[in-house]
Amino acid sequence: MTHPDPTLFGHDPWWLILAKAVGIFAFLVVTVLAAILIERKILGRMQMRFGPNRVGPKGLLQSLADGIKLALKEGITPAGVDRPVYLLAPVISVIPAFMAFAVIPMGGAVSVFGHRTALQLTDLAVAVLYILAVTSVGVYGIVLAGWASGSTYPLLGGLRSSAQVVSYEIAMALSFATVFLYAGTMSTSGIVAAQDRTWFVFLLLPSFLVYVMSMVGETNRAPFDLPEAEGELVGGFHTEYSSLKFAMFMLAEYVNMTTVSALATTMFLGGWHAPWPINMWDGANSSWWPLLWFTAKVWAFLFLYIWLRGTLPRLRYDQFMAIGWKLLIPVSLAWIMVVATAHTLRSTGYGGWASGVLIAGTVATFLLAAILWRTMRFRPERTRADTAAGASFPVPPIPDRPSVTRETTDA
């Protein structure tokens, strides 16, 4: 295994740092173009129709043509907007999306023109916290876009997004706590090194499932795309945007999808380590091969995004918030206690007890999730008579009858 030495970071020549930064940017842009095209083709097959098949051979240049079209279209700025904030909002959304990828390890140590370097721009002792901080800044672009548009529907979309991201970032951060306990570090390269033999998805399955649900909510994707629900908000926060400014919001969305997919790969799927049975080959995790395994894992999560969009209907907003606050957060807190107990037992020499606690805790966590889900889903409905007996409330007018107000009566 060629894990990068921590001393490699911070000693690269300037041209190598610049080359890695440009490489990450190109990787993300190409991934976005490919993801949009592949998503449209897969959704077309799911809906028994053709996807893009006109521009280029078999439609392969459709995403590039759409990007050029958006860049060349006339940019219309509505009269009632707060112009400086309106123009700054897309920039605030797209820049943090790229910045978060700086600490993602895409491979081990390689040699580039005689210089030994890691396939990672940089690393920090608190790299995962850096990613959470940077990605949370991106929501300000959405909120400011809705506020600066001077319109009601974009404002509602921005407010929804702020509540949504705050709610699901809590569950996402809690799912990372168990990873930190087992890895003993918040460094992304250290977390990948800790999964040299066993991926954390097998040890910390509840954390992985909580993270997968949280990352879909965090990126405003179906079935959790409430901030831009077309049916009720007419497009959401970007309703008043056009041309290149609209393209920047779309770019930020797909780059964020790639970033959280790469973070899931790093935290739970062994990062750039080769999957079984490829890892039985001695050279699987050396040279440039890890970049291939890392990219394949990221695309597996991107396919999950596409699959969910083509399969599930959009949730109601109250259902969506209830999942975050009443299901994911309680389950995450309970699971952290189980993992902390098992980790303490293992560190004090009770390895057998630790495994038993981990297995029992996994079963108990899934039972808790099932109970909470059933409670939310099958809540008994209060009848009209029960509601009227508890408080006074106005009754909507019934056709051919006058409007009445029922009041509470004493027995």
Q: In the chain, where are the structural domains located?
A: 6-314, 317-379
Q: Is 50 left (phi over 0), alpha (psi -120 to 50) or beta?
A: beta
**Position of tokens 């606690």?**
357
> Could you report the average pLDDT of every consecutive run of 10 residues in the chain (411 residues)?
59 86 93 93 90 88 90 84 89 90 88 84 89 87 86 81 83 91 89 88 88 87 72 70 87 92 93 84 82 93 92 81 86 87 79 74 79 63 49 59 50 43
Nearest to 218 by CA among 227, 209, 205, 208: 227
Q: What's the pLDDT at 5? A: 56
Tell me the helices (H) and strands (E) count for the chain, helix number first.
Answer: 15, 4
- Report whether the peptide linkage leading into residue 223 is cis, meaning its omega lies within 30 degrees of zero: yes
- For residue 368, how many other CB atoms are within 10 A of its CB? 16
CB 258, CB 342: distance < 8 Å: no
- Distance (Å, whole) CA 93 – CA 158: 12
Quickly list DSSP for 1-35.
--PPPGGGTT-S-HHHHHHHHHHHHHHHHHHHHHH
Q: What's the pLDDT at 411? A: 43
- Distance (Å, whole) CA 121 – CA 20: 6
- Distance (Å, whole) CA 356 – CA 29: 46
Q: Are strands 393-394 and 109-112 parallel, antiparallel or unpaired?
A: unpaired
Is residue 252 classed as helix, strand or coil in its secondary structure?
A: helix
- For residue 128, how many other CB atoms are within 10 A of its CB? 22
Measured CA to CA in angstroms, residue 351 lies from 90, 195, 272, 347, 361 at distances of 51, 18, 28, 8, 15
For residue 92, give every residue at least 6 positions away whose Cβ sits within 8 Å of its Cβ, in sequence order, or none.
137, 138, 140, 141, 144
- Distance (Å, whole) CA 52 – CA 33: 13
Q: Are strands 115-118 and 405-406 parallel, antiparallel or unpaired?
A: unpaired
Q: What's the pLDDT at 232? A: 59
Q: What's the pLDDT at 409? A: 46
Is residue 117 classed as helix, strand or coil in its secondary structure?
A: strand
The 3 state secondary structure assigned to 32-101 is HHHHHHHHHHHHHHHCCCCCCCCCCHHHCCHHHHHHHHHHHCCCCCCCCCCHHHHHHHHHHHHHHHHHHH
